[in-house]
Structure 1
Amino acid sequence: MTDVLDPALLAEAVAVAAAGALPAVTPLTPGPAQPGSPHVTAAFAGGAIAELDGGVPGAVVVLVGTELVEALASSPMGALDVAAAVQPALDAAARQLGAHARGARTLDLDAEGYDVTTELGGPFSTVPLIGAGIAAAVLVPEATLAGAREPISEDSEPAASVLADAVADSAPEPFVPAFGAAVAPPRGLELLQGVDMEVTVELGRTRMTVRDLLALTPGAVLELDRAAGSPADLLVNGRLVARGEVVVVDEDFGLRVTEILDANAAV
């Protein structure tokens, strides 16, 4: 990466980018970068790692606290994966490093003998993300910081400005409580408001033999298990939550919701 002022500043800029995409009730403020320790995972309940593409070596890890992990586990849509919830933050961190993040993988922090240093391939920097206490942390290998490239922009917003803001900010560093310090009581579903969910509209289903599937040709018609005019199903992460009418909006299909299903019916 050109014009890198300092690895610690770059690590903090990466954390700024990740913080903006991480589910949180209150804004997360990065603390100062510090040398990584394998014991840092003891202060967190979950995390995810994403390998980097685009010529930048290594990977990035985002660790999250009990609040988010418990909120994901008790979601009305069923248990949600930590890696899926953290993926946008890993994507943002990777762009700040001039790379692209591969699909995230959830870390098993409770595994016997687990060492995040092994996951990251060597020494790393840790940047805590502070909300009500330390809510999360971003871990970046030293080799990754050394091999970073020009930040990649998203939506025409110069990603380099994140680094510039981190360098230009002359305000005093925020108070950083010790890892493992007490945090505010859990806030449940509020934490999930920024989590991306896969929403699918299903017109109907059918069952076919492999022979019939292989015999499909352009123009073939499949009969579904639903009569014409019946409502379509709205599924969130595979879970039925509503039904509605298929409509056309500016030449695109849409769904006009006509019925919201309660938790017992949405199965």
Structure 2
Amino acid sequence: MIPEPSAIPVLHSTALYTAAAEALAGMLPTGSPVEAVLQHGARDAALDAGHGELVSASFVGQHSADVLLQVVAPLLGGAPGGPGSLVAASDVLRPSLEAATGVLGAGVLSTEAAVRPDALLGDSETVCFELRSAGEKIGFFAIRIRENDPVPAPQAPGAGVREDMSSKLGRINNVEMALTVEIGRTRMSVRDVLGLEPGAVVELDRSAGAPADILLNGRLIALGEVVVMDQDYGVRITQILDVNEGLS
């Protein structure tokens, strides 16, 4: 049984947890507005398998955090990640998780280095929110903000920011993350995606010859140009972005 927290943790202001929950609620892909309500009492009910797939993630940056999210499948257009599904629940909910952790400052969000749900909910420093829409519970959100170790004061303007971020990201040196090269994007309705057939051409939002985006777990960190090496594609780095540009 998951223990009942004795009080809201004092590691950070309650307002920071609430801001994260409200940012997440505002980005959930639902048809009706979602309200995040601070949850008190036992957390056993939070782990309800009938409420949809659990998506957990870790965030490392100015503030580091572990987060857990569950939303009823019908509000996400069925059951993402199920048999025949084109997308996973983590893909559908990632923009919401990014919005929540975005209030913590610059950093990197990873769904690969996530903590176990029972361990997160059993921690007294975790704050839980019930997600409600049209008066009905549609899921829950849990967040635990971790204290970062102090780092030396910057010695030169700008240099300290990168050093500070590198020190914090250094804690996950051995964690593998997805590095993606993106040559362009477009927006399509689900109807148009389902109507795609072999031979169809999808126009992107970038002109030929424009630099490609290099993303670390969905965060823009550099620019480059696509090259061919021994018949395999590669990317030549042309610009490393400033921390505030790429990770904010």
TM-score normalized by the length of structure 2: 0.49
- Larger Cα Rg: Structure 1 or Structure 2? 1
TM-score normalized by the length of structure 1: 0.46
